[in-house]
Amino acid sequence: MILKIMNKKMKVVAVDSFFKSFRKMFSFRHRYIEMPWYNLKHGLRNIWNFKKIVWQHRDWDYYDILRMQQFQLKKLKATLADGHEVDESRLPKIDKMSRVIELIQNIFDDQDMEKTFMSRVGYDFDKVSHDFIPVEGKDYFEFVTDSPYSNEEFKKFYDDADELEKAESKELYEIINNHSLGWWD
C-alpha cells in the first residue's frame, strides 16, 4: 500500500507490534524487574515532591484536599505549558487550570484573613476595632466593637461576601467537573 503525502511517496508497512507488546507485558523481566524499579523510582520522587503537603495534611479539613489539588495543578500546568499539544486545545486548559488555582487560593486567603471575601466586597477591616474592656466590679471583660458601619451595612457586606464565596465555589467545582478529565499531557 502506498500513500502520497505532500507530493512524496510513503510506504506503509504493517508490523506485528501488538503481540510483541502484549508478550512483553507478561514477561518476567517486565513484571519483576522493570515495573518495580519504575514504581520505586517514581514513588520516591513523589514522596520528595509532596513531602510538605503530606506533612501538613489533616484528615478533618477540606482545605488539605484543596491544598493537594492546587499543588498538583501547578505541577500539571507547568508540564502542559511545555507540552506536546497544539495551542488551540492546550491554552484553554492552562487558562482553566490557572482559574482553579486562583479560586483555591481565594479560599486559602479567606481562611488566613489575608484577602477575605468581605474585604473583596468593600468591607475595610482597618476601620473597625475590637477591644476587651474590664467590667467594673466583675471578674470578666466585655467585648466592644467600634465600627463606622451600621448593622444593616455590615449585614449587606456579609451577604455579598457569602454570595461571592458561593459563586466562586460553584465556579471552582464546575470547572473541575467539566474540564479536569482532559487535563493531561
**33-42 confidence digits (pLDDT tens):** 777 888 889 8
Distance CA 124, CA 105 (A): 20
**Half-sphere exposure in the Cβ direction for 110 (13 Å, CA):** 19
Residue type at 132?
F
* pTM value > 0.75: no
- What is the tens place of the pLDDT at every residue in 109-147? 888 666 788 888 888 888 888 889 898 888 889 988 888
DSSP string across 43-58: HHHHHHHTHHHHHH--
